[in-house]
Structure 1
Amino acid sequence: AGPEDLECLFDVFLDCVRNYKNNQTPVKDFINKRLAYVPQRSFTERPKKVLIIGSGGLSIGQAGEFDYSGSQAIKAMKEENIQTVLINPNIATVQTSKGLADKVYFLPLVPEYVEQVIRSERPGGVLLTFGGQTGLNCGIELERLGVFKKYGCKILGTPIQTIIDTEDRKIFSERISEIGEKVAPSIAVESVVEAIAAAEQLGYPVMTRAAFSLGGLGSGFANNKEELKTLATQALAHSNQLIIDKSLKGWKEVEYEVVRDAYDNCITVCNMENVDPLGIHTGESIVVAPSQTLSNKEYNMLRTVAIKVIRHLGVVGECNIQYALSPNSDDFYIIEVNARLSRSSALASKATGYPLAYVAAKLSLGIPLPKIKNSVTGVTTACFEPSLDYCVVKVPRWDLHKFSRVCTKIGSSMKSVGEVMAIGRKFEEAFQKALRMVDENVSGFDPHIMRVNEKELKDPTDKRMYVVAAALKNGYSIDKLYELTKIDRWFLQKMKNIIDYLSILETKEKQNLTHRDLVRAKQLGFSDKQIAAAVKSTELAVRMQREELRITPFVKQIDTVAAEWPATTNYLYTTYNGTTHDLTFEEKHMMVLGSGVYRIGSSVEFDWCAVGCLRELRRLGMQTIMINYNPETVSTDYDMSDRLYFEEISFEVVMDIYNLENPDGIILS
């Protein structure tokens, strides 16, 4: 099992050998002939002015990630000397700030207002895929009304028909069948009566999903006719089409971020695996990059299919494809394709150091991948697949306790308001970091927060991970937990490693902690506070003990090339699973602390503050350090600061970085 991208070269070799006596054509000509690709449209005329449709107000399922993607698109257009016009009524965004877009319209994202802007500005092209579902739905409506054609405004990047095909579940299923691939058995319906008939045909349990919807709005699982009636009525209030899927609850969910240019160069940038099984929306799931439990055969099988699908659909730019993979065989189904930038794209960009939104914007102008410089490494082109020598864990944040009478169960419809991203050399290290990032009052994978409750293990809530921790502490076996949660045994074993070591620490006295004990604890992602609670000490006492024993973290780079050749990235993280630093600490910097995870009451407006602060410091000629762990933000973009630490904003970690960097000052607010 391996990549099949250039399998055709073997056929070229055989043809050369077979026909050599009669036709002594150079091998190079054979290769050029086989790999030649004629673009489906001409890119000779580049627009002088481009309209970018933003994402509007923040909502559950659509947050700061589109501020990040829109900002990168504006930067990419500026580099190509193209004037940018932005429509976005959200004032609390970086992309609407002075100095980015040439013109900003704070108008509602509805067809009549957008048409007025097109009429007065007369842009030569429009970007629809940088504003999430809101921007996309607005663009599709404008195309149906014939507005773009009327004013000679070209849709850049992925053709509009491809976007419609991937959003309309029925057409999408037909398009995938054309290349012999499978989507989950499903039926598209437009009424409650049709939904009940479809469910009886497929057999219960079924899953409902609304087309053209945001964050899985109106979706859910139905075990009987009554549950389906309720779900279908709710979903059809948001959308005119509902898809009834055969339930694949319990299968693995895997996704790939794929990039394709107008000349058919196609690469997979990042593959990610959900810790939670299918049945929980990707935005509600704990996600790990790169995937940890796929075999080489499975990884390459899904990669080959991703490239095949994206080429067939004719995507130009960035695309996300999601699979359901059987845990017991090689069977898989394609769940959906998002032919636009999404929250997963922001995560993949930050996890790999590959600037997806920036590259997608350049590709929309017809620039080939090999001609785009990778602005993160500075030495490679954008036509390469990142290699990761670290593990990334994304954990969502819910603020359900702020509402009365809200259901705390999580499922196929998004309820999370933000997410965090942690980086480590081990899953345990990154996982514990992420849990602390989500809630500063949590010390890590703590078995004392929740009680064991088998119902919560079967039907997950926002606190399920702590119920898993309690179950492991109470002696539940990996197999028993797998049956209840359907979380892969590999992940459960890693979680058990944390709980087992916590139990060992709890048997030790604070004065008896050895160098080996502390190193092992830190390598498994334990914080000083967590160790202190286990040995009945204090955070400061553990910190002093650790520093006396010279146990301090090492700073590593996200270099996209797994240290295969030198890279110049400023994406950094700290780890105890290392022996050397990847850089030196000689220059003086000013340190700025980011806003952390989005929550109700603290959102993208504080990212705007952080970015404004970084820009002003840079204007004053100072070098900057940013510490933040939110992958949806502009402040964690590669070109915003001189050094970016993707790390916890806690006393322990900030002090560790402060001691290493010795900055001139630190800005907290």
Structure 2
Amino acid sequence: MTTQAVELSQEVLDLARKLPEEMLLKAKKHGFSDYQIAHIFKTTETVVRNLRKHLGVISVFKTVDTCAAEFDAKTPYHYSTYEEENESVSSDRKKVIILGGGPNRIGQGIEFDYCCVQAVFALKEAGYETIMVNCNPETVSTDYDIADKLYFEPLTFEDTIRIIEHEKPLGVIVSFGGQTPLKLSTKLEEAGVTILGTSSTGIDLAEDRKKFGALLEKLAIPHPDYGTAICFEEAQMITRRIGYPVLVRPSYVLGGRAMKIIYSDDSLKEYVDQALFISEKYPLLIDRFLETAVEFDIDAIADSSDCVISGIMQHVEAAGIHSGDSTSILPYHNISPEVIATMKTYTQILAANLHVVGLMNVQYAVQNDHVYVLEVNPRASRTVPFVGKATAVPVVKIATRVMLGEKLSDLRQQYDLKDCDELGMKHLAIKEPVFPFSKFVKSGVYLGPEMRSTGEAMSLADQFPEAFAKAYQAANMELPLSGSVFISVNNQDKNQRIITIARELFRMDFDLVATAGTHQFLIDNGIECKKVFKVGEEGRPNIFDIIKHGKIDFVINTPRGEKALHDEEAIGAASVLSNVPFVTTIEAAEASVQAIDCIRRQEFGVKSLQEYSSYRNR
């Protein structure tokens, strides 16, 4: 017996003296998890679990009859409890367990549920019994007729390992449910569970900032300067080295939670002081923020020897806005072939070195034609459903077959697989986020690294302006065809781009209104516009008053820096309250003006998704 095992046995015995079987069983019946019990008795979850198993305090599964005993239920579902009889019968078929995404929340939505359901279909086609584990009744994966068996259980190690021990599957898929099941991969693998797809080692290498940074250095792949810190002094040393602005975030976050762009020492100290949990294990991550860069999302399918680039999405907004909040275009436009080739090469190298089997997502920033890797997620990303529908390639189905052991090289021929930029798409697809600002006015409307969107819409068209106009309409944002436009841009955006935007709006007979700096810039360039007071300036009415009284039909406002963002929140709030469409980046303004012109000039045609995807059959 190893030293560790002896120590563990002693720990279990020590706990048994404090926690007799009757008390342990009572605690479990009252819903206390192993983790909670371990916290109370100042021990580990493993010790509590081993004591439970030693004493035979093990949960059983009860069945929910989906036909209320009127008919024989072919697809009942199960939940665990601490009673006597186990009603879940495990078959001897070859089976795979899929871990779902758990509760839907910002950063973890139904895009992942789509992946889980498509994986179930692929597994059934391959002859496997499918077992779904999820705890969200508002998802398709928990519909009674999707998987062969459904366990309505929390996505925790304790609940998941109990199901695995009972069902004895060939393997478990953790990479289709987002970040929640991904966090279980290491503990499951340590418990002897076979993880189908990328191993927990590869997942940890991508998730751990220090390990991932070291890998990028080794592979000579460019990335923004970064550092990790557990206190303000360490954070300040890092910013001295890499310079402001910086992007600061906690470790292992979902949906960019608590991420912020910092411009000064004072703001950095305020952020660190307010951080809820910083430690050696969970340090703050600090990255150099690349202003004005263009961001890209790349989705890929890989195995041990091959990699297919399934989607290359270009963000409309500049870097600094969470990928889930960005308007994404597929295929990309106005980007040099050399930049695309570089991103594809980096993606293939990263897939090979992370030993990715299945899906992966890489986020890039491109500044002055230099490509920087921002992060890698060795799992399904929220863009997978969008990519699959836009390209007519069954991305999840192919990835599932790869995870089951099939070679990507063999599947290339079967599905006519090519990299996304080689497919010859005849149309353009846009992913447009949907925001809850009308319901949460005080939450702030300006986009940043922390995700805000609660949904998304997709549009398809043959040309960019029409696709963008459709995307706006799908996201319930009605662009005006006439009226007044308010323009206020930061100094960096006072360039030819805003001049072109203003001239186009003027050509379409819009009246232009601007604050002092932007007004003077437009007047100096021969564009007629009216001057209005900023919020906080002496003099009324100011722009807040004008928007509130319904005299503005569209808002273009691009604040930069902390003070500007704070001052201009009032404009965004007024726009939401008055149901006035607004954009906060120059890129979105350009796209919006093109869309307005498109709506004024033509009626949109309607095609089915199958018609758009017919290019694959030619």
TM-score interval, normalised by the smaller of the two chains: 0.5 to 0.7
Could you tell me whether the CA contact under 8 Å between 1:392 and 1:422 is conserved in 2? yes
Change (3 A) 1:259 1:496: same
CA distance in 2 between partners of 1:448 and 1:101 (Å): 53
CA–CA separation in structure 2 for the residues paired with 1:298 and 1:134: 33
Worse overlay, 95-104 or 477-486: 477-486
Letter in 1 for 2:286: I
Query: Which of 192, 205, 221 is 1:165 aligned to?
Result: 205
Cα distance, 1:387 vs. partner? 3.0
Question: Normalising to structure 2: TM-score of the pair?
Answer: 0.67
Query: Partners of 2:284 and 2:263 in 1: how far apart?
Result: 17
- 1:352–1:558 contact (8 Å) kept in structure 2: no
The structure-2 alpha-carbon separation of the partners of 1:132 and 1:445, relative to structure 1 and needing over 3 Å to count, comes to farther
Residue 558 (structure 1) shift:
5.6
Report the counterpart of residue 320 of structure 1 in structure 2.
361
- Amino acid paired to 2:372: Y
Is 1:190 the equivalent of 2:271? no
User: Would the alpha carbon gap of residues 82 and 59 (structure 1) be closer, same or farther in structure 2, given more than 3 Å must change?
Assistant: same
**Partner SS state of residue 105, structure 1:** strand
Partner Cα distance (1:195, 1:413) in 2: 20
Tell me: CA distance 1:420–1:456, structure 2 relative to 1, closer, same or farther (3 Å).
Answer: farther
User: 1:289 matched to which residue of 2?
Assistant: 330
With over 3 angstroms needed to count, the CA separation of the structure-2 counterparts of 1:491 and 1:92, relative to structure 1, is closer
Match of 1:260 in 2: 302
Instruction: Write the distance in 2 (CA, Å) between the matches of 1:392 and 1:105.
Output: 36
Q: How many aligned residue pairs are there?
A: 455
Cα-Cα RMSD: 3.5
Match of 1:225 in 2: 265
Q: Secondary structure at the match of 1:303?
A: helix
Deviation of the 1:500 alpha carbon = 5.2
Partner of 1:521: 602
Point out the more displaced range, 111-120 or 489-498: 489-498
Q: Does residue 110 of structure 2 align to residue 64 of structure 1?
A: yes
User: What runs of 5+ residues in structure 1 fail to find an aligned partner?
Assistant: 1-45, 459-465, 506-519, 526-551, 567-669
> Is contact 1:390-1:423 (8 Å) kept?
yes
1:409 aligns with 2:449: no
Cα distance in 2, alignment partners of residues 85 and 296 from structure 1: 44
**Counterparts in 2 of 1:177 and 1:354: CA distance versus 1, 3 Å:** same
* 1:100 and 2:146 aligned: yes
1:129 aligns with 2:178: no
The aligned residue for residue 177 of structure 1 is 217
CA distance in 2, matches of 1:331, 1:350: 30
Deviations 1:444-492 (A, max 9, x none): 365658633336997xxxxxxx999979945689999999799998876
- Higher relative contact order by CA 8 Å / sep ≥ 6: 1 or 2? 1
* Matched residue, 1:601: none
Give TM-score, length-normalised by structure 1: 0.62
Q: Partner residue of 1:278? A: 319
Please report how far the alpha carbon of residue 319 of structure 1 lies from its aligned counterpart in structure 2 after TM superposition: 0.9
Q: Shift in Å at residue 191 of structure 1?
A: 3.2
Asked whether the equivalents of residues 485 and 511 of structure 2 are also in contact (C-alpha less than 8 Å), the reply is no
Give yes or no for contact 2:505–2:593 (8 Å, CA) kept in 1: no
Q: Match for residue 389 of structure 1?
A: 426
Change (3 A) 1:267 1:312: same
Partner of 1:333: 372
Q: Which residue number in structure 1 is paired with residue 471 of structure 2?
A: 434
The match for 1:454 is 489
**What's the CA shift for 1:178?**
1.6
Contact kept in structure 2, 1:210 and 1:236, CA below 8 Å = no
Given the superposition, is the C-alpha separation of residues 368 and 474 from structure 1 closer, same or farther in structure 2, using an over 3 Å criterion?
Answer: farther
Does the Cα contact within 8 Å between 1:453 and 1:467 map onto a contact in 2? Answer: no
Contact kept? 2:175, 2:379, Cα under 8 Å: yes
* Deviation at residue 209 of structure 1 after TM alignment: 2.6
**Aligned partner of 2:245 among 194, 205, 209:** 205
Alpha-carbon shift at residue 49 of structure 1 (Å): 2.0
- Residue number among 279, 290, 301 corresponding to 2:342 in the alignment: 301
Question: 2:188 and 2:268 mapped to 1: Cα distance?
Answer: 33
Q: Percent identity?
A: 29
* 1:444 correspondence with 2:444: no
Q: 2:72 matched to which residue of 1? A: none
3-state DSSP of counterpart to 2:254: coil
CA distance in 1, matches of 2:276, 2:227: 15
Please tell me whether residue 353 in structure 1 is matched to residue 389 in structure 2: no
Superposition deviation, residue 238 in structure 1: 8.1
For 1:452, the aligned partner's letter is: I
| Residue pair 1:276, 1:286 contacting (<8 A) in 2 also | yes
Which of these two proteins has the greater Rg computed from alpha carbons?
2
Following the alignment from structure 2 to structure 1, what is the Cα–Cα distance between the partners of residues 149 and 301?
29
Give the C-alpha shift of residue 201 in structure 1.
2.2
Match of 2:292 in 1: 250
Question: In structure 2, what is the Cα distance between the partners aligned to 1:250 and 1:65?
Answer: 29
When residues 286 and 331 of structure 1 are mapped into structure 2, their CA distance, relative to the original with a 3 A threshold, is same
**Structure 1 residues 490 and 232: alpha-carbon distance in aligned structure 2, compared to 1, 3 A threshold:** closer
Contact 2:479 2:596 in 1 (8 A): no
Q: More displaced, 448-457 or 110-119?
A: 448-457
- Aligned AA (1:357): V
Contact kept in structure 1, 2:484 and 2:511, CA below 8 Å: no
Q: Quote the Cα distance in structure 1 between the aligned partners of 2:128 and 2:237.
A: 52
Q: What per-residue deviation string (whole Å, max 9, x for no partner) do you get for residues 253-305 of structure 1?
A: 0121111123x121111111000000101111111111112112221222122
Q: How far 1:230 moved relative to its partner?
A: 3.2
Look up the equivalent residue of 1:362 and give its one-letter code.
Answer: R
Question: What code does the residue aligned with 2:128 have?
Answer: I
Matched position secondary structure for 1:343: coil
What's the offset of the Cα at 1:396? 0.6
Residues 555 and 115 (structure 1 numbering): CA distance in 2 closer, same or farther, change over 3 Å?
closer
